[in-house]
Amino acid sequence: MSGRFEAHGDVGILWIDNPPVNAISQAVRVAILDGLKQAEADSAIKVLVIACAGRTFMAGADITEFSGPPRLPSLPEVIDALDAFSKPVVAAIHGTAFGGGFEVALACDYRVALANAQVGLPEVKLGILPGAGGTQRLPRLVGIEPALQAMISGDPIPAPAAQEMGAIDKLVVGDLTEAAVAFAREKIGSPRRRVRDITLSPNSLPAGFFDTARQRTAKEKRNLFSPQRIIDAVEAAITLPFDQGIQREQDLFFECAKSSQAKALQHVFFAERQVSKIPGLPADVKPRSIKSVAIIGAGTMGGGIAMNFANAGIPVTLLEVNQEGLDRGLGVIRKNYEATAAKGRLTSEQVETRMGLIKPTLSYDALADADLIIEAVFETLEIKKKVFETLDRVAKKGAILASNTSYLSIDTIAGYTSRPEDVLGMHFFSPANVMKLLEIVRGARTAPDVLATALDVAKRIKKVGVVAGNCHGFIGNRMLEGYGREGSLLILEGATPQQVDQALVKFGMPMGVLQMFDLAGLDIGYKSRKDREPGTFDVKSGAVADKLVEMGRLGQKTKAGFYDYESGQRTPIPSDVVAKVIEETAAQYGIKRREISEQEILERCFLAMVNIGCEVLREGIAYRASDIDIVYLYGYGFPAHRGGPMFWAEHELGLPKALERIREYARQHGPRWWTPSPLLERLVAEGKGFAQAV
């Protein structure tokens, strides 16, 4: 059932009921139209309340309908019917009135909301704009500037703030239906108060307001299409009469809806929800209870990981081997919190509460009560071995033992304990208190409830947990190897570091691959290359970085790496010294330098990554291509408007073209790194996409 009409004396209630989030599907649109007709026809009904059953008010248009042909009636038709309705209408809002849901509420005369409800127009996050009158009504109701801000950010607005803005008329604590009916009854006999009839005055805006907004938005929402169209639509609210403004909104909506960005962002929406569905994990598996956590290692990663738990109100014991390391680690955590407080995002009380949740220790005995222990020590197996053998002795029965390793085998690590079923990888991404990704690595013997617990923990600490199988580098770092290798080879073949990085940044990456190496520290790759078996990586690709490290150029931390850096600055400055090292190294390997195009940079870096992604999928290291996309969006800053590397390859480039280019690079550079994944070959031969990969 999608809708039902109920008479409470002279107040009618139109109930919408479409679990789980009352998305405005075709059936819901029909139900609203039917309800309006019924309420109009019933002369005993003097006023109408629109309310929703279940956990929320309508959370927006039904996104699953976006990919098919239009299904009538459209939401704008429903909104027109609301405008044409002759009696006052009150929206009773609980949960999240988002997108089309909020637009329905904006087409009502009054909005009554539970104090803990949220409203908002998050369409921008799906690459579109509010297409059911939101761009014309919200500015009329709350003013141009706050409305524009709300639509460009797409962020939820808590009901009290929405009331302050003028978008909510009454806040309710307690029974919403009762309060909404009482409120509605007060409005009996009042004329309609339609938002469309409010006159907007252009004089209230500073000169050049929209130009300034366009420029600011171009910086803040780099490369994004729909935020600029939102500005166009809101400008129409002031320059055009209401109905023409609505028409303009419709035109702009369809421009956005057919853009590749909208398709990519909608893919991300569903990919993010898909990721926690783990094939083979019994539906009734019960996560273990995690009330306290311990972290081993108070370095950059350990400290960042500890902050996540303290932020979520979970007590965390932080272990280091000596007092100096412990003091330094805690000092960095405090500094991070204080920096957030200085920006006004935490009170000093909250800083102290969070610091109070972190208990420093030098003794493994202090870990005996922890429900979850995460090891974040140096990345060598000998050290991990010692740690896990010790944990096996001190940890309580049933405690989950996790490693934050970026590359090492979880099965080997689990083998250092007598309880491999309790061991798994919890791989955080630097900076661990900021990056949203948590790669959860299941070992061959990890117990289902341990996996379920890690997914649960990810949610509690506001991360997106992606389950990966066990292999060198798991999903993210295994694919990164191809990306880094090609970026490094391109500079030997003739591109400058800035040319490579600028192409990647223009594509939408937050920074280029060489800048990323400088940020992480070139000594990390240097050390790992020294430890690796010859033949398992491309020696040439690391040659420049190795020389830079041997010259003391370790990256940003020494103010010199692939670039120079000024004190306290992160802006990369091209270096003549590095240019010379590159030329010498190219000569040493007999590489003839040549002009390199932007297209080659993008194809080499991303297709190398995607080809490995196909292997990751083929081997079952990732369950779905969309999981790989999520890893790249939240762990590596891949631009969401391109959907992730696998979506990009399939939908921007096309898999046949991707395969053709990979084959071409194999012809040019040999098969060692460019042999197409058999999965890619099969999908192209069968005319299939990644969704049909398994």
Query: What is the contact surface with ligand CAA in residues (CB under 6 A)?
Result: 20-21, 23, 59-64, 75, 96, 98-100, 103, 122-123, 126, 130-132, 273
**What is the separation of C-alpha 510 from the centre of its chain, rounded to a whole number of angstroms?**
14
Q: Which parts of 551-624 fold into alpha helices (H)?
A: 576-588, 598-618
d(CA 369, CA 300): 24
Cβ 56 to ligand CAA shortest distance, Å: 6
Looking at the Cβ atoms of 268 and 432, the one nearer to ligand CAA is: 268
Q: How far apart, in whole angstroms, are the C-alpha atoms of residue 593 and residue 495? A: 8
Q: 161 vs 205, which CB is nearer to ligand CAA?
A: 161
The least distance separating ligand CAA from the CB of residue 224, rounded to whole angstroms, comes to: 16
CB 662 within 8 A of CB 680: yes
Query: 303 φ, ψ to 5°?
Result: -60, -45
* Bridging pattern class, strands 157-158 and 316-319: unpaired
Rounded (5°) CA angle 579-583-587: 170
The distance of closest approach from Cβ of residue 522 to ligand CAA in the complex, given in angstroms and rounded to an integer, is: 40
The residue (of 117 and 290) whose beta carbon lies closer to ligand CAA is: 117
Distance CA 71, CA 242 (A): 25
Question: Does the annotation count 382 as an active-site position?
Answer: no
Cβ contacts of residue 686 below 8 Å, gap of 6+? 692
Residue 63 vs 524, nearer CB to ligand CAA: 63
Write the CB contacts of 611 (distance below 8 Å, at least 6 apart in sequence).
482, 662, 674, 676, 677, 680
Q: Which of 560, 305, 557 is closest to 431 using CA atoms? A: 305
- ∠ CA 496-501-507, nearest 5°, is 135
- State the minimum distance, in angstroms, from the CB of residue 652 to ligand CAA: 23
| Least Cβ distance, residue 520 to ligand CAA (angstroms) | 33
Phi, psi of 542 (to 5 degrees): -95, 0
Task: Give the nearer residue to ligand CAA in terms of CB position, either 57 or 638.
Answer: 57
Q: Which of 123, 235, 439, 486 is catalytic?
A: 123
Residue 135 CB, nearest approach to ligand CAA (Å): 9
Comparing CB distances to ligand CAA, the nearer of 78 and 451 is 78
Q: Is 103 part of the annotated catalytic residue set?
A: yes
3-class SS of residue 369:
coil
Nearer to ligand CAA, 20 or 344 (CB): 20
User: Closest approach of Cβ 124 to ligand CAA, in Å?
Assistant: 9
We find the least distance from the C-beta atom of residue 232 to ligand CAA, in angstroms, to be: 16
d(CA 414, CA 294): 18
Nearest Cα neighbor of 275 from 468, 471, 444, 122 is 468
Interatomic CA distance for residues 628 and 511, integer angstroms: 20
d(CA 444, CA 234): 55
Maximum Cα–Cα distance for the chain, whole Å? 91
Annotated catalytic residue within 6, 103, 493, 681: 103
CA dihedral sign, ordered 126, 128, 133, 138: positive
Instruction: Measure the CA–CA gap between 303 and 322, rounded to whole angstroms.
Output: 15
Coil vs helix vs strand at 578: helix
Residues acting as catalytic residues: 103, 123
